[in-house]
Homo-oligomer: A and B are copies of this chain.
Amino acid sequence: MAHASVDTDMTLEQMGIAAKSSAKVLRKLSTAEKNDALEKMAEALEAQQDFILNENMKDLMHSKEAEYPEAMVERLTLNQERIQGMANGLRQIAGLPDPTAVSKGEWVNGDGLRITRRSVPLGVIGIIYESRPNVTVDATALCLKAGNSVILRGGKEAINSNKALIQALKSGLEGSSVPADSIQLITDPSRELAAKFMKFNAGLDCLIPRGGGSLIQTVLDNATVPVIETGTGNCHLYIHEQADLAMAKSILINGKTQRPSVCNALETLLIDESIADTALPILSEALAEKGVLIHGDETVCARLKDAVPATEADYHAEYLANEIAVKIVADYETAVSHIEKYSSGHSDAIVTTSYTHAQDFLDDIDSAAVYVNASTRFTDGEMFGFGGEIGISTQKLHARGPMGLEALTSYKYVILGSGQIKA
């Protein structure tokens, strides 16, 4: 089988030029042409499955030799089902509405100029990520669907897998209208090149880091390219004094234990003092049944023999594991102050039957997603109905919360005149 090859000799500047020149072609393609390319990419992944799995095996062998943590090896592992999942993901993205085919407004100004705010692709998007090969396919598909070229810089642990995946995707593009140069993969694993990538303003319109807290912090500290910060999630659940405790228990257990390793999982439980006598036993027992370790404040530790004392660090912690901080709060205001102080601005929830406190909570909590009587686990592009997600933004510029295709677009003003000059 012939494969489009990944050119490992290209400099970053050359990649930038190739990506930018492809972006000019891409932004003029029809929705049908982009969708056709996504379908062909899906077929290529399916057809080249054996090749991809062979290359993935090389990464897995290296990772075992290097004694990487089991969780990392698990994330790195591809199999037939996961590759099929990637292909299905491509077809799902093909089925989504084209975000550049949407009106953002048109009006005629006082001088008779017809002004349109036209939705356009961002241009060239940089993605910097860790060892999940599925990001390689997902991010590429979302960028292309929105009419953008993409330059990918994945973790060195996944380099063979990523090269194989990109080779397959590029071979799929060969029969399509999307230029193969729309996709660029950085194969040089050095930190020097990563640092250069973060300052590659000449070649990138924006940079999106996807991964853990330290990757994101490094990008924030070093990038000069405009960055969309994606999410660390220190998420809170506050059980108000007027609350349905069965609902509280169900939302707590779902938020903490359904998938503890993700950013929208709960990390801290706040219980109103006035209902602590009733609520704490019910909630702590449910947590214990699921094997969740409780880091409690003084009151909690006095009442629960299995709880360990919570330190300041626990309230800041994103455990991403079967652990939770539990604190008894004096009242609504104390709960809000705690969340204000410690929340990462991702997702926070209240359980209450009080109309006033529900409305106040929605106003008072300055996070990307604020919930009344529902699990924080819903903060997700797919759950929100966006069909896909490039990440969850915890910053306030450009995009906030789950970012779908729209977050990968910008706009420009198109002004139609008949000779108007400024008076």
Residue from B109, B205, B367 in contact with A412 in the complex, judged by beta carbons closer than 8 Å = B367
Q: How far is the CB of A233 from chain B (nearest CB, A)?
A: 14
Interface residue from B206, B254, B385, B422 paired with A421 (Cβ < 8 Å): B254
List of B residues within 8 angstroms of A107 by Cβ: 385
A122 nearest in chain B by CB position: B396
| A371 & B415 in contact (Cβ 8 Å cutoff) | yes
Q: Does A61 contact B (CB under 8 A)?
A: no
Contact of A412 with B375 in the complex, beta carbons under 8 Å: no
Copies of this subunit: 2
A251-B363 CB under 8 A given contacts A109-B384, A368-B412 = no
Q: Which of A183-191, A219-227, A280-288 lies at the interface with chain B? A: A219-227
| Chain B contacts for A366, CB-based, 8 A | 120, 123, 412
**How would residues 97 to 121 of chain A score, 1 for a CB under 8 Å from any chain B CB and 0 otherwise?**
0000000000101110101001010
- A220–B228 CB distance below 8 A: no
Q: How far apart are A250's CB and chain B's nearest CB, in angstroms?
A: 6
Residue numbers in B under 8 Å from A75 (CB-CB): none
A14 CB within 8 Å of chain B: no
Q: Give how many A residues have a beta carbon under 8 Å from the other chain's beta carbons.
A: 71
Q: Does A411 contact B (CB under 8 A)?
A: yes
With A115-B384, A368-B413, A397-B398 known to touch, is A421 a contact of B251 (CB < 8 Å)?
yes
Among B258, B369, B415, contact of A369 (Cβ-Cβ < 8 Å): B415
CB of A412 within 8 A of CB of B363, answer no
Given A206-B396, A368-B412, A412-B400; A378-B419 close (CB under 8 Å) = no
- Chain A residues within 8 Å of B, Cβ to Cβ: 24, 27-28, 107, 109-111, 113, 115, 118, 120, 122-123, 201, 205-206, 220-221, 224, 226-229, 244, 247, 250-251, 253-255, 258, 358, 362-364, 366-375, 377-379, 383-385, 395-398, 400-402, 410-422
Can you list 19 A-B contacts with CB-CB less than 8 angstroms, sorted by A residue number?
Answer: A107-B385, A113-B378, A115-B385, A201-B220, A226-B227, A250-B419, A251-B421, A253-B421, A255-B421, A258-B421, A369-B412, A370-B412, A370-B413, A374-B415, A374-B416, A374-B417, A384-B413, A396-B410, A398-B398
The 6 A-B pairs at the shortest CB distance, nearest first, are namely A374-B417, A254-B421, A396-B410, A377-B422, A398-B398, A247-B419
